[in-house]
């Protein structure tokens, strides 16, 4: 939270605004500045404390010891050391650690594979959902650490490197930067966005493995695997392609790990009649024996089921997470292979298996821990502190068994006091227009595409969160995006805020000259008291929904508050009251401007830039005023919206917060993003050639 506040306080140029960079001449540090220096430049340098202390009515005399020339270098070194120590202390102070007596919330989003650009389904499935919850927890005054990063090891990375003709490390560097840029554009508030291809990942992963080995939870077994003689390597599931073996599917380009046609997991063993090597050569592989290490899940079943039975209820797991977990348990837990015949991964610290690496679904969840260890050497205060830390994990439904069965079994097997997941929030699929999002085929809108649409990130965040596939698959359509932008953001939310602030900003005789009026008769104003009763109930519902990670419902409730505000304005007919009953009009306006502030607070988890813009128009500092904390009594106060902004407060300049999406623009976007990325690229090339020909 401290880090987020520090970043939020940094002033950067803002497009569309006048950005002014001011400098003052740097004063010599060899004496106390006199009044001429102060009026001439008045900088903030090493003499800042003097300027801060100075008052026109009282000039304090300060003496400065003269440093002899011989000792000047030593003094300079001492000053540099002191500055370095202060910088280190400031950095350490910004690190978020659990605080005794506070609610400490550890939030993770499933680590996205680094082999591609994330599409909108990936973004809403884990990253944006986790961000909304982390922001909500900060808003409530909880102590929050939000962790994510790119999952960089495994076959997917090796395959992508082969496609692009470079090394796995180069692929990781390239796509990690792309992911980071996409999430920054979407205003995701990670405390750290790290990587799994780090020395810390190797250290933590190998340490957990050695504990499992020591506690006898591992076994060895020989398994058959497809081997390509031409490539002289064992083929991972992803490197095998053939006809899908699932009855009724018969898709001819299914991979060994997943069939894109029907989105189900396939099995290489069933491909034996039709497999081909997709590594390089395309030849038919043979079957060979290879030894591997297995995690003995059957032996850990009792520990695991006790954890699941207790935590799924106490942590209010989402129903789709419970169903997916129970399906694995019902099938019967089997030993799971945790090693692979690859080069790109965490090496197995065992003489017999030194040429193998860990399976990505053994090492990837450990990435949450290792990324935290990159953030702070005191990472165990988060990850080995179950008494004081609550772990919330966000992901798509494909990842559930690895987080509810594999990962907790791994940690339980070490016998150490790990912080296990309390709550898991799982999304279904977000589909695209008439088909499915697909990273493999490049179908749908991807993170970098969203930026190119000129639709602000706030609108994207709102649409994705209001369309979050919490209980069933949902559908992205350009028409629906347009409707939600125009009807909900522009006509409901934006209209309410602009009406209120514009009326208050009107000159006296027609408005309030930008000054919030007093409301002495609010207790006897029936319409306002009725509104307050409704708002109070909606606030309680909002907190209940968000505490239970019902993010979509929480957003719906806030928008209902905005609708109530619009209805309140209409019913009050404030434009008539200003001429007929100034006292009642003042009550309506003071209550309404309080609702504007309340909406800015409650919508911060969903649309943070919007909230900052509203507070700017209210002439309030976001760092001081974006809060909704029990301990400060802010929740009860919010149920009396007329008390939220004091009388006499001067607001800023109102401005429209949203722009409508026109039909022609939506039609153009639908056509632009039709088909796969390869087809779009071809269309662009053809259009460029035609344009060149016409010229």
Q: Return d(Cα 548, Cα 550) in angstroms, integer.
A: 5
Do 370 and 496 sit in the same domain of this protein?
A: no
Domain for residue 479, yes or no? Answer: no
pLDDT at 285: 78
pLDDT at 62: 32
Average pLDDT in the 121-134 region?
95
pLDDT at 277: 61
Task: Pick the closest to residue 384 from 347, 414, 420 (CA basis).
Answer: 420
CATH code of the domain in which 589 resides = 1.10.730.10
User: Which of 398, 432, 466 represents a domain boundary (last residue)?
Assistant: 432
- In 3-state terms, what secondary structure has residue 650? strand
Domain for residue 655, yes or no? Answer: no
Do 639 and 565 sit in the same domain of this protein?
A: yes
Greater confidence (353 vs 432) lies with 353
Q: Find out whether 294 and 336 touch, Cβ atoms under 8 Å.
A: yes
Residue corresponding to tokens 């291809």:
197
Average pLDDT in the 190-197 region?
98
Q: Find out whether 591 and 528 touch, Cβ atoms under 8 Å.
A: yes
- In 3-state terms, what secondary structure has residue 327? helix
pLDDT at 228: 80
Average pLDDT in the 205-234 region?
90
CATH code of the domain in which 197 resides = 3.40.50.620
* Burial of residue 520 (number of CB atoms within 10 Å: 0-12, 13-18, 19+): exposed
Domain for residue 286, yes or no? Answer: no
Do 379 and 493 sit in the same domain of this protein?
A: no
Average pLDDT in the 653-660 region?
96
Q: Does pLDDT of 523 surpass 50?
A: yes
Give the gyration radius of the chain's Cα atoms.
Answer: 30
Do 406 and 492 sit in the same domain of this protein?
A: no
pLDDT in tens, 255-274: 766 676 655 555 544 444 45
pLDDT at 368: 99
Average pLDDT in the 673-677 region?
69
Domain for residue 568, yes or no? Answer: yes
User: How many domains does one find in the chain?
Assistant: 2
Q: Does pLDDT of 275 surpass 80?
A: no
Task: Pick the closest to residue 575 from 506, 634, 526 (CA basis).
Answer: 506
Lowest mean pLDDT among 118-132, 172-186, 387-401, 431-445: 431-445
Average pLDDT in the 297-323 region?
95
Average pLDDT in the 345-373 region?
96
In this prediction, residue 311 has a pLDDT band, given cuts at 50, 70 and 90, of very high
User: Which of 415, 432, 449 represents a domain boundary (last residue)?
Assistant: 432
Q: Find out whether 163 and 143 touch, Cβ atoms under 8 Å.
A: no
Do 518 and 610 sit in the same domain of this protein?
A: yes
Q: pTM, whole model, 2 decimals?
A: 0.82
Do 193 and 300 sit in the same domain of this protein?
A: yes
Q: Find out whether 179 and 118 touch, Cβ atoms under 8 Å.
A: yes
Do 522 and 613 sit in the same domain of this protein?
A: yes
Rounded to the nearest integer, the mean pLDDT of the chain is 86
Domain for residue 272, yes or no? Answer: no
pLDDT at 23: 77
pLDDT at 269: 47
Share of the chain above pLDDT 70, in %: 79
Task: Pick the closest to residue 561 from 527, 536, 584, 589 (CA basis).
Answer: 536
Q: Find out whether 15 and 33 touch, Cβ atoms under 8 Å.
A: no
Task: Pick the closest to residue 337 from 294, 300, 290 (CA basis).
Answer: 294
Do 394 and 505 sit in the same domain of this protein?
A: no
Share of the chain above pLDDT 90, in %: 65
User: Which of 394, 415, 432 represents a domain boundary (last residue)?
Assistant: 432
Q: Find out whether 232 and 206 touch, Cβ atoms under 8 Å.
A: no
Exposure string for 36-59, b = 16+ CB within 10 A, e = fewer? ebeeeeebeeebeeeeeeeeeeee
pLDDT at 35: 62
What are the distances in angstroms from CA 201 to CA 194, 209, 362, 373, 374? 10, 12, 12, 9, 9
pLDDT in tens, 545-591: 999 999 999 999 999 999 999 999 999 999 999 999 999 999 999 99
Do 382 and 516 sit in the same domain of this protein?
A: no
Q: Find out whether 436 and 462 touch, Cβ atoms under 8 Å.
A: no
Greater confidence (588 vs 90) lies with 588
User: For 154, which DSSP code?
Assistant: S
Q: Does pLDDT of 279 surpass 60?
A: no
Do 424 and 496 sit in the same domain of this protein?
A: no
Give residue 134's domain range. Answer: 104-213+296-432
pLDDT at 58: 33
In this prediction, residue 70 has a pLDDT band, given cuts at 50, 70 and 90, of very low
Domain for residue 39, yes or no? Answer: no
Do 566 and 636 sit in the same domain of this protein?
A: yes
pLDDT in tens, 497-509: 999 999 999 999 9
Do 160 and 308 sit in the same domain of this protein?
A: yes
Greater confidence (318 vs 253) lies with 318
Domain for residue 563, yes or no? Answer: yes
> Please, what sign has the CA dihedral across residues 344, 350, 355, 358?
negative
Q: How far does Cα 184 stand from its chain's mean position?
A: 9
Domain for residue 362, yes or no? Answer: yes
Q: Does pLDDT of 83 surpass 70?
A: no
Lowest mean pLDDT among 51-65, 205-219, 326-340, 613-627: 51-65
Average pLDDT in the 100-115 region?
95
Average pLDDT in the 406-410 region?
98
């Amino acid at each position: 939270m401290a880090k987020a506040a520090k970043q939020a306080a940094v002033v950067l140029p803002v497009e569309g605004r006048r950005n002014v960079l001011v400098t003052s001449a740097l004063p010599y540090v060899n004496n106390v500045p006199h009044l001429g220096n102060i009026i001439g430049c008045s900088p903030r340098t090493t003499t800042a404390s003097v300027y801060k202390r100075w008052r026109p009515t009282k000039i304090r005399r300060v003496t400065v010891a003269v440093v002899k020339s011989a000792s000047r270098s030593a003094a300079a070194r001492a000053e540099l050391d002191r500055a370095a120590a202060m910088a280190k202390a400031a950095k350490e102070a910004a690190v978020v650690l659990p605080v005794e007596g506070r609610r400490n919330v550890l939030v993770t989003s499933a680590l996205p594979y680094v082999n591609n650009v994330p599409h909108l389904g990936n973004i809403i499935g884990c990253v944006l959902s986790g961000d909304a919850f982390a922001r909500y927890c900060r808003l409530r005054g909880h102590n929050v650490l939000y962790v994510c990063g790119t999952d960089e090891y495994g076959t997917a990375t090796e395959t992508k490197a082969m496609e692009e003709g470079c090394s796995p490390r180069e692929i990781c560097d390239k796509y990690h930067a792309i992911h980071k840029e996409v999430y920054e554009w979407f205003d995701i508030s990670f405390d750290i966005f790290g990587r799994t291809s780090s020395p810390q990942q190797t250290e933590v992963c190998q340490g957990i493995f050695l504990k499992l080995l020591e506690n006898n939870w591992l076994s060895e077994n020989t398994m058959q695997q497809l081997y390509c003689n031409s490539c002289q390597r064992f083929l991972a599931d992803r490197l095998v392609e053939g006809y899908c073996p699932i009855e009724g599917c018969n898709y001819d380009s299914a991979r060994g790990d997943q069939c894109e046609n029907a989105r189900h997991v396939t099995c290489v063993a069933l491909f034996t009649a039709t497999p081909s090597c997709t590594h390089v050569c395309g030849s038919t592989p043979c079957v060979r024996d290879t030894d591997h290490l297995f995690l003995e899940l059957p032996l850990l079943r009792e520990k695991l089921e006790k954890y699941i039975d207790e935590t799924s209820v106490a942590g209010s797991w989402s129903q789709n997470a419970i169903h997916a977990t129970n399906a694995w348990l019902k099938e019967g837990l089997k030993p799971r292979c945790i090693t692979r015949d690859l080069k790109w991964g965490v090496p197995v610290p065992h003489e017999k298996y030194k040429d193998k690496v860990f399976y990505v679904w053994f090492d990837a969840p450990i990435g949450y821990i290792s990324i935290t260890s990159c953030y702070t050497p005191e990472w165990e205060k988060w990850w080995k502190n179950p008494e004081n830390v609550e772990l919330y994990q966000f992901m798509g439904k494909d990842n559930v068994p690895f987080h509810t069965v594999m990962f907790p079994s791994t940690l339980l097997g070490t016998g150490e006091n790990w912080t296990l997941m309390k709550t898991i929030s799982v999304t279904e699929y977000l589909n695209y227009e008439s088909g499915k999002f697909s990273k493999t085929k490049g179908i749908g809108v991807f993170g970098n595409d969203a930026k190119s649409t000129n639709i602000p990130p706030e609108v994207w965040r709102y649409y994705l969160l209001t369309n979050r596939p919490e209980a069933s698959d949902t559908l992205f359509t350009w028409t629906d995006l347009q409707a939600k932008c125009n009807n909900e953001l522009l006509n409901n939310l934006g209209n309410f805020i602009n009406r209120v602030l514009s009326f208050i900003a009107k000159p006296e005789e027609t408005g309030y000259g930008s000054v919030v009026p007093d409301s002495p008769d609010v207790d006897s104003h029936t319409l306002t008291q009725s509104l307050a009763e409704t708002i109070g109930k909606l606030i309680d519902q909002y907190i209940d929904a968000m505490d239970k990670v019902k993010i979509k419902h929480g957003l719906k409730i806030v928008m209902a508050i905005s609708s109530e505000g619009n209805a309140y304005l209409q019913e009050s007919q404030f434009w008539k009251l200003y001429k007929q009953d100034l006292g009642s009009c003042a009550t309506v306006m003071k209550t309404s401007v309080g609702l504007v502030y309340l909406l800015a607070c409650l919508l911060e988890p969903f649309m943070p830039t919007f909230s900052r813009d509203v507070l700017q128009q209210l002439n309030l500092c976001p760092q001081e005023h974006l809060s909704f904390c029990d301990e400060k009594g802010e929740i009860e106060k919010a149920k009396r919206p007329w008390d939220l902004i004091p009388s006499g407060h001067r607001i800023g300049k109102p401005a429209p917060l949203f722009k409508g999406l026109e039909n022609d623009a939506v039609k153009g976007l639908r056509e632009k993003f039709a088909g796969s990325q390869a087809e779009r690229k071809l269309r662009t090339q053809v259009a460029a050639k035609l344009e060149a020909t016409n010229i």
